[in-house]
Amino acid sequence: MSTAFHRLCLAGTHSGAGKTTLTIGIVAALRRRGLTVQPFKTGPDYIDAGFHRRAAAREPHNLDLWMMGEAAVRRCYEHAAAAADAAVVEGVMGLFDGSGADGSGSTAHLARVLDLPVVLVVNAKAMAGSIAALVYGYARFWPDLEVIGVIANRVSGRHHRELLAAALENAGLPPLLGCLPPDPAWTLPERHLGLISDTESTVDEEWLSPLAAAVEKHIDLDRLLAAARGRRPVPSAADADNTAGPTVHRPAAPLRLGLARDDAFHFYYRDNLDRLAEAGVETVSFSPLADQRLPENLDGIYFGGGFPEMFAARLAANTALIKALHRFAASGRMIYAECGGLMYLCRALIDRDGRRHPMAAILPAETVMENRLHRLGYREATLLADGLFGPVGTVVRGHEFHWSSIAGDTGSTAFYDLRRADGSPAGCAGMRIKNVWASYLHVHFASAPGAARAFARALTTEQS
């Protein structure tokens, strides 16, 4: 770790401007210079963060103001970035797009909270002097936001670059720090939830190396780093999850939580796992695709989201693990599942071609993949039952994003009352049978003081 520290936020004018590719390339290029780079993703997106991990060889973190709140966002950023040489934050959607029309929860809001300088990413295809008008609006819309430069994407050549640079300079706007030419090889493949996850993609060193080399060639990294230099963050001592909520004694020995982690299940917020560790919970990974048995001496199991629909046949074929799950559930120990995890715990998954794949059958319902997005957005959830994240009435926040729906009589009890980000009702949700809790909601533990400790306590409560 060097004595200098650099921080920047890469923000797009809109979704599709190229900020994910540029973030990956800049992180990889800085790492090639010998810098330790800590990547962050604005908002609830799991998939972009996975590509950050590949480029940085370091665990990424999500920073979401609506789910986490300002204090938890600061804490997460400070703790993750303190030991790095550079913090690179990728924005979400357009710079001012957030959970509210006033820009709350947006990339701009996050940059203001964390005092991050912004580099604006512009898709400059078929654009010349108009870049000045575009950048003028973004750079001046919030006067207290520091926009230190512009990176133009899909620039056709030197003359195109010179036109863009001159337009910004003549207008007295933040300078052009560089351009990337169009290259189909850098296109990240997509499917129904957006990008194909890094666990399945071809993003490897052979893909990263040419992108990093292009960034070094076409972007003035020295100028970028000079403009992004700032004070190294100092981690705060206070931890909201450990200083609020009911008193819970930390277990003498770590509780063991089985974490489903493979190509089918890998959507976990790093901050959630860190908070569980602070509450005395050790996570032990296993693969529902490949493992024939569960890890030994587990106190509970956590199934995150992912793409079970893409691996339904393989999941169904692993009957040995499904039998082990049934024995585990019968023992009264807790099983918690989110989104893709819920789909796996149901009786069957019906894919888009109408094929029915038997699943774990821990929950008496089926899920059906639809040809459209079923639910998308932030949710505030009030617990209707004691346990999991706290007593009845505990409020947590999370995010839904799924193309499947639940079919048939579930024979289970809902345990969330949901509201959208605007406060409007979104119905009851969740399926609970005794010690098994499952819903489509991806919960962020930072949204409720004491949530991680309550979750740890629930691991010690067996139900028959």
Which positions are annotated as active-site residues?
A: 339
Indicate the SS3 state at residue 359: coil
Q: Are 27 and 55 in contact (CB under 8 A)?
A: yes
Task: For residue 276, give both structure tokens.
Answer: 């569980």
Burial class (CB in 10 A: 0-12, 13-18, 19+), 373: exposed
Task: For residue 61, give both structure tokens.
Answer: 């973190």
Task: For residue 359, give both structure tokens.
Answer: 């699943």
Task: For residue 298, give both structure tokens.
Answer: 């587990």
Task: For residue 80, give both structure tokens.
Answer: 């993750």
Sign of the dihedral defined by the CA atoms of residues 413, 415, 421, 423, in that order: positive
What CA–CA distance (Å, rounded) separates 412 from 409? 8
Question: Where does 363-444 show beta strands of DSSP type E?
Answer: 363-369, 375-383, 395-402, 404-407, 416-420, 425-429, 431-433, 436-439, 442-444
Rama region for 69: left / alpha / beta (φ>0; ψ in -120 to 50; rest): left
> Tokens 């499952």 label which residue?
438
Task: For residue 268, give both structure tokens.
Answer: 């976990």
> Tokens 């029309």 label which residue?
101
Q: Are 161 and 152 in contact (CB under 8 A)?
A: yes
CA distances from 293 to 6, 261, 324, 363 (A): 45, 14, 6, 20
Q: Are 126 and 5 in contact (CB under 8 A)?
A: no
Tell me how far the alpha carbon of residue 362 is from its chain's centroid. Answer: 27
Q: Torsions phi, psi of 172, nearest 5?
A: 65, 35
Cβ contacts of 321 within 8 Å, gap of 6 or more: 288, 291, 292, 293, 294
- Return the amino acid letter for 397: R
